[in-house]
Amino acid sequence: MTAQKRIKSALISVYHKEKLDVIVRKLDELKIQLISTGGTAKFIRELGVDVTEVEALTGYPSILGGRVKTLHPKVFGGILGQRALDNDVEEMKQYDIPEIDLVLVDLYPFEETVAGGGTQDEIIEKIDIGGISLIRAAAKNYSDVLIVPSQSHYTDLIELLDRKKGMTDTQDRLRFAQAAFAVSSHYDTSIYHYFSSPEPEYLKFSSHDYKSLRYGENPHQNGRFYGSLDDLFEQIHGKEISYNNLLDIDAAICLIDEFDASSFGIMKHNNACGFATRESLSEAWKDALAGDPISAFGGVLVTNRTIDSDTAAEINKIFFEVVIAPAYSEEALQILRMKKNRIILVRKDGTMPDYQFKTLLNGVIWQNRDKRRESEKDLKTATLEHPDEQQVKDLLFANILVKNTKSNAIVLAKNNQLISSGVGQTSRVDALKQAIEKARNFGFDLDGAVMASDAFFPFKDSIEIAYEAGVKAVIQPGGSIRDQESIDFCNEKKIPMVFTGIRHFKH
């Protein structure tokens, strides 16, 4: 049974006033009594509409610099009183508490103040107390009261008033109450994150923004993205981004952000199948594609430079799902827009979170993001032979790539180009063999290449195989109880091996 109720009185206390004039006039037309606070009451009065100030209802002025306005039994009694309970009705009459049927609230902009770089005092003062209490009280008593918890719900209220002329039923009130608790929990989560350390003790995540995806990882699964992609990208062309696109886009951004020099990458199933750093972007693209032109089909392309017409003409020769760049020339866009479904993203300056989490078993696992990037000073040469200048560059280049490749992972690189990689294998030897086979299939000469591993080599067998294939320098974390066997082999063959001391697993 859905109980129909007429709105006879409304309490309005809002921060944002946009569209409030439309609501106020509609409430006035429906002969609904208005109660309001300070600035909102002034706004209503300037519209020529009668309004009772909260101070007149409670007998108390706004005190403590506006911190206490609505926190009074005559306000909360009018919201929480249950009309179906005779005892509540009698008490409300005894204490002269009027029924309040509609509560319209828009909270202080706490998140916006934090994001805008407000001072601590400014941020603290934007923690709403009265407003959040009004929302929770009205939502709790949704059987009698309609709660409108934020500016984003003004339009829904206007539509309801137009359609039902001041009447509501239980389903209407329940729907708004659900939204109200979403608003209040999100607000409290934002405050918690402001006060918590970089590694909070409690896991709290909340997002009002979400995007329904065509499907999840597979067509029979539903998918959503929670968050604001618009903070990171502007999509200027193409079809809707899919769940699997997002996984590759995330991997692409994590990888390209590790490079300062002009670079181009091709991602497939969250791994780089091609990557190169070059002076010319078009040359970076050509050498990235050479790494694995077969896997590049249907991939996600990413660069940290403006895509010009020459580069666009080259990448337009293959089928790919997504391209990401900080900017595009007009001529490049004309070329890239030739395919109507091709997703073209412009990278913005938005930042990625410092942490990652995912559901696992009956809980969630959390970690801070692997932002460690080794430099030349972090390399410890374990062998008698030291790497030369170009080898150091290639070793650091390969180390970044292997860090961003699914374990077990081996990367072979030469002259700032990804030659090949072995990804996601159950043994490091298998990953290496896969990488060597791929390199040879695409005509690469491995003589002089370097090898990177995401974890230590438990035995020297991988290094022996790599040496026979032409590898002339090795980078790995080190730390195996058999490191000395690998060091002895490298010394015998006069090839340098450096330790980073840092493992970079990726699952």
Residues involved in catalysis: 140, 269
State which H helix or E strand residue 294 sits in.
none
Alpha carbon of 296 to those of 119, 205, 265, 322, 345: distances in Å? 48, 35, 10, 11, 18
Nearest to 257 by CA among 367, 336, 342, 370: 370
- Secondary structure of residue 115 in the 3-state scheme: helix
Q: Contact 397/381 with Cβ under 8 angstroms?
A: no
- Name, in order, each residue with C-beta under 8 angstroms of 432's C-beta and a sequence gap of 6 or more: 410, 422, 451, 462, 465, 466
Q: Contact 213/327 with Cβ under 8 angstroms?
A: no
Name beta bridge partners: 271. 268
| Cα(49)–Cα(424) distance, integer angstroms | 68
| Cα(421)–Cα(436) distance, integer angstroms | 8
Q: Contact 131/105 with Cβ under 8 angstroms?
A: yes
Alpha carbon of 375 to those of 379, 383, 416, 457: distances in Å? 7, 18, 15, 21
**Token pair listed for 479:** 């730390």
